[in-house]
Amino acid sequence: MSFEIMVDSVLLMTVIGGMGTLYGPMLGAIIIVLAQYYLQPAMALLSGSVAGLPLLPRLFDPDRWLLWMGVLFVVIVYFFPAGIVGRMRRVRD
Protein backbone atom coordinates (compact mmCIF):
# COMPACT_ATOMS: atom_id res chain seq x y z
CA MET A 1 0.00 0.00 0.00
CA SER A 2 1.48 3.32 -1.00
CA PHE A 3 1.81 6.23 1.39
CA GLU A 4 -0.79 8.34 -0.46
CA ILE A 5 -3.43 5.61 -0.27
CA MET A 6 -2.70 5.07 3.41
CA VAL A 7 -3.04 8.80 4.17
CA ASP A 8 -6.29 8.96 2.19
CA SER A 9 -7.68 6.01 4.16
CA VAL A 10 -6.79 7.62 7.47
CA LEU A 11 -8.43 10.88 6.40
CA LEU A 12 -11.58 9.05 5.30
CA MET A 13 -11.73 7.22 8.61
CA THR A 14 -11.38 10.47 10.52
CA VAL A 15 -13.94 12.41 8.47
CA ILE A 16 -16.52 9.62 8.57
CA GLY A 17 -16.17 8.97 12.30
CA GLY A 18 -15.71 12.54 13.42
CA MET A 19 -12.73 14.78 14.05
CA GLY A 20 -11.59 15.88 17.46
CA THR A 21 -12.45 12.66 19.26
CA LEU A 22 -10.70 9.40 19.93
CA TYR A 23 -13.78 7.34 19.13
CA GLY A 24 -14.52 9.03 15.79
CA PRO A 25 -11.55 7.70 13.82
CA MET A 26 -11.96 4.30 15.47
CA LEU A 27 -15.59 4.14 14.34
CA GLY A 28 -14.58 5.39 10.89
CA ALA A 29 -11.93 2.67 10.66
CA ILE A 30 -14.50 0.02 11.55
CA ILE A 31 -16.90 1.31 8.88
CA ILE A 32 -14.19 1.48 6.19
CA VAL A 33 -12.84 -2.00 6.96
CA LEU A 34 -16.32 -3.55 7.07
CA ALA A 35 -17.22 -1.88 3.79
CA GLN A 36 -14.03 -3.14 2.16
CA TYR A 37 -14.68 -6.72 3.23
CA TYR A 38 -18.45 -6.97 2.85
CA LEU A 39 -19.43 -4.52 0.11
CA GLN A 40 -17.96 -6.53 -2.76
CA PRO A 41 -19.65 -9.86 -1.85
CA ALA A 42 -22.93 -8.06 -1.17
CA MET A 43 -22.76 -6.45 -4.58
CA ALA A 44 -22.13 -9.85 -6.18
CA LEU A 45 -25.35 -11.14 -4.59
CA LEU A 46 -27.26 -8.03 -5.66
CA SER A 47 -25.89 -8.23 -9.18
CA GLY A 48 -26.99 -11.84 -9.43
CA SER A 49 -30.47 -11.07 -8.14
CA VAL A 50 -31.09 -8.33 -10.75
CA ALA A 51 -29.55 -10.32 -13.61
CA GLY A 52 -32.68 -10.17 -15.77
CA LEU A 53 -32.97 -6.39 -15.69
CA PRO A 54 -31.16 -4.07 -18.09
CA LEU A 55 -28.19 -2.02 -16.83
CA LEU A 56 -28.56 -2.91 -13.13
CA PRO A 57 -26.27 -5.98 -13.18
CA ARG A 58 -23.49 -3.84 -14.64
CA LEU A 59 -24.15 -1.05 -12.12
CA PHE A 60 -23.92 -3.48 -9.21
CA ASP A 61 -20.96 -5.42 -10.60
CA PRO A 62 -18.60 -6.36 -7.73
CA ASP A 63 -15.74 -4.59 -9.50
CA ARG A 64 -17.56 -1.29 -8.95
CA TRP A 65 -17.41 -1.51 -5.18
CA LEU A 66 -15.19 1.57 -4.96
CA LEU A 67 -17.88 3.59 -6.71
CA TRP A 68 -20.39 2.59 -4.06
CA MET A 69 -17.83 3.20 -1.33
CA GLY A 70 -17.53 6.75 -2.65
CA VAL A 71 -21.31 7.13 -2.69
CA LEU A 72 -21.42 5.90 0.91
CA PHE A 73 -18.74 8.44 1.86
CA VAL A 74 -20.61 11.33 0.20
CA VAL A 75 -23.88 10.36 1.91
CA ILE A 76 -22.22 10.13 5.32
CA VAL A 77 -20.49 13.50 4.90
CA TYR A 78 -23.73 15.11 3.66
CA PHE A 79 -25.91 13.85 6.50
CA PHE A 80 -23.22 13.88 9.22
CA PRO A 81 -20.98 16.92 8.54
CA ALA A 82 -19.37 16.63 11.99
CA GLY A 83 -18.94 12.87 11.58
CA ILE A 84 -20.98 10.11 13.14
CA VAL A 85 -19.63 10.67 16.65
CA GLY A 86 -20.16 14.44 16.31
CA ARG A 87 -23.79 13.83 15.34
CA MET A 88 -24.30 11.44 18.27
CA ARG A 89 -22.85 14.04 20.65
CA ARG A 90 -25.18 16.71 19.29
CA VAL A 91 -28.19 14.41 19.70
CA ARG A 92 -27.08 13.54 23.24
CA ASP A 93 -26.72 17.20 24.25
Can you say how many angstroms the Cα of residue 49 is from the centroid of all Cα atoms in its chain? Answer: 22
The Cα 59–Cα 72 span in angstroms is 15
Domain that holds residue 62: 3-92
Local confidence pLDDT in tens for the 93 residues of the chain: 555 556 667 788 888 888 888 888 898 889 888 888 888 888 889 888 888 888 888 888 888 888 888 888 888 889 988 888 888 888 888
**pLDDT, position 50:** 87
- What pLDDT score was predicted for residue 63? 87
Domains identified in the chain, total number: 1
Helix or strand run (H / E) with residue 32: helix 23-49
Q: What is the pTM of this model?
A: 0.72
Angle at 34 between CA 6 and CA 61, to 5 degrees: 95
